[in-house]
Amino acid sequence: MFLKTLPLILLCACASTAQLPTAEQPDLARVAQPYVPELQALGISRVISPGNGAMVRLDTAYGSVYVPYPLPGEPLAFVLNIGLDGVHASAATSDRAKEERVLAALMPEAFRATARNNDFEWLRANPWQ
């Protein structure tokens, strides 16, 4: 029995995730504000960039959608929580110019990928259409 579970135990022990930033960043929230109506319309409730150049996760009503981090160079770790009251942002540090570049490059692809995912999931949930 132990030999069957050993690979699972080792896999779990080796898996690690980046710690999400927790410091509120009102400047990042202001930079993200113009994107909020489209994020809400597509059902995106959270945008998570781990800050290591890995895929950016978009949490939606249909599940998670992943898009590539848009820019080469030093990645930015941040979390955007989108609610009915707008956007709340957290990041370890704040650099307005970098945040503007990253969001300007990320958001169009996030919108396209989420719209495609939403269409696919709707068709999957409504096969008679």
What's the CA dihedral at 64, 46, 68, 41 to 10 degrees? 80
Rounded Cα gap, residues 119 and 38, in angstroms? 16
94 — alpha (psi -120 to 50), left (phi > 0) or beta? beta
pTM of the model: 0.80
Q: How much is the pLDDT for 15?
A: 44
- Express each pLDDT in 60-83 by its tens digit: 988 999 999 988 878 899 999 999
The mean pLDDT value for 15-24 works out to: 61
pLDDT band at residue 3 using 50, 70 and 90 as cut-offs: low
What mean pLDDT is reported for the chain?
Answer: 85
- Express each pLDDT in 108-128 by its tens digit: 999 999 999 988 887 777 877
* Tokens matching residue 90: 């957290």
Write out the DSSP string of 12-69: HHH---PPPP-SB-HHHHHHHGGGHHHHHHTTEEEEEEESSS-PEEEEETTEEEEE--
Q: How much is the pLDDT for 14?
A: 44
Q: Give start and end residues of each alpha helix (H) in 59-95.
A: none
